[in-house]
Amino acid sequence: MSNATVTRVGQINQGGDVDALFLKVFSGEVLTAFDATNVTQGRVQTRNIQNGKSAQFPRTGLIGARYHVPGNEILGQQMNHGEVVITVDDLLISDAFIANIDEAKNHYDVRSIYSTEIGRALAKQMDKHVLQVGVLAARATNVISGLPGGTKITLTGAGDETSGLKLAAALFKAAQILDEKNVPEDGRVVYFRPAQYYALAQATDVINKDWGGQGAYSDGKVLRVAGIEIIKTNNLPSTNVTAGVEAGGTPARYVGDFTKTVGLVMHSSATGTVKLMDLGMESAYDIRRQGTLMVAKYAVGHGVLRPEAAVEIAAL
């Protein structure tokens, strides 16, 4: 009896590796979960580097204008210069091992669940670090002499952090501050926790279209206040974060007391991210352990670029 010709659907052009295409499913699921969960992606300055441990972000000050006196020689003016160096953190990973025997006994597919959770874990950690840096930017001074630093708006009454109208007033104040610091209007966002987000959504004045509001009371959505895009996230810091308490070791430059932080208004230029190794995925069967190891990883770092472009909204 002759053997049947078997088409191995995991091979690439009969290449021999019967799992080659299957790995892409894992990669795609991780990427999808990461992109769907990561709210700060695309909202900060990002630089990719091929090697090294850090990247330099040059900073320049302002230059003035003056009237020319006829006959006087024009020699040019001085401008303040500085730099911000952002260092790449250690490799951050999220991993899972699935034993063959467990998969055989199970009545549902667990690989897609694991891969989704791996992507979410990395996205959550990146958001937390970016937002911690954003709040620290609002508390920082400027590296350029003569330029303003960050701003903190403290709500004046107990319970104001759950009042939609008080939060809206704080956003208008933040918009005014950013205007006065010549921060561009395009690219401004505010990160709120669900409690603050839905407090805004219940404030009908905020979403009243007759007043230029954007949102829907029936959907529980508020899109924009004072020209600032509203982002809902659980990753805005709310505790006293100390070094080494998260993900196996939080770098010291991300630490701070965030117990009073209610919201973070930030322009995309306020913080920067350096990527040495962008999100990558690996999956391999281990014959010695009779199971499959799945690992997602990246090596990035975050830092303050323009503190004048960040505003912290804090509780009393």
pLDDT (mean) for 3-19 = 57
Tell me how crowded residue 273 is: count the other CB atoms within 10 A of its CB.
23
- From the list 96, 92, 81, 230, the residue with the least C-alpha distance to 168 is 230
Query: 154-158, 206-210, 227-231: lowest mean pLDDT where?
Result: 206-210
Total residues found in the chain within this entry: 316
Beta bridge partners of 125: none
The answer on pLDDT for 158 being more than 80 is yes
Write out the E strands in 258-309: 261-267, 271-286, 291-304
The Cα 122–Cα 99 span in angstroms is 23
Write out the E strands in 127-267: 151-154, 188-192, 214-216, 221-225, 228-232, 240-241, 256-257, 261-267
**Distance between first and last Cα of the chain:** 83
- CB-based contacts of 186: which residues, under 8 Å, 6+ apart? none
Tokens matching residue 92: 């951050």
Q: Which amino acid is at 216?
A: A
The answer on pLDDT for 250 being more than 80 is no
Task: Report pLDDT digits (tens) over 68-81.
Answer: 889 888 888 877 77
The answer on pLDDT for 263 being more than 90 is yes
Exposed/middle/buried for residue 104 (C-beta within 10 Å: 0-12, 13-18, 19+): exposed
Residue 137 and residue 310 in contact, taking contact as beta carbons nearer than 8 Å: yes
For residue 156, the Cα-to-chain-centroid distance in whole angstroms is: 29
**Per-domain residue ranges of the chain:** 22-41+82-314
DSSP class of residue 193 equals -
68 vs 304, residue with greater confidence: 304
The answer on pLDDT for 210 being more than 50 is no
pLDDT band at 300 (very low <50, low <70, confident <90, very high): very high
Residue 228 and residue 171 in contact, taking contact as beta carbons nearer than 8 Å: yes
pLDDT band at 14 (very low <50, low <70, confident <90, very high): low
CATH of domain 22-41+82-314: 3.90.1690
Phi, psi (rounded to 5 degrees) for 184: -55, 145
Task: Report pLDDT digits (tens) over 91-147.
Answer: 888 988 888 888 776 766 777 888 888 888 999 999 999 999 999 999 999 988 889
**CA angle, residues 309, 128, 242, in degrees to nearest 5:** 100
3-class secondary structure, 66: coil
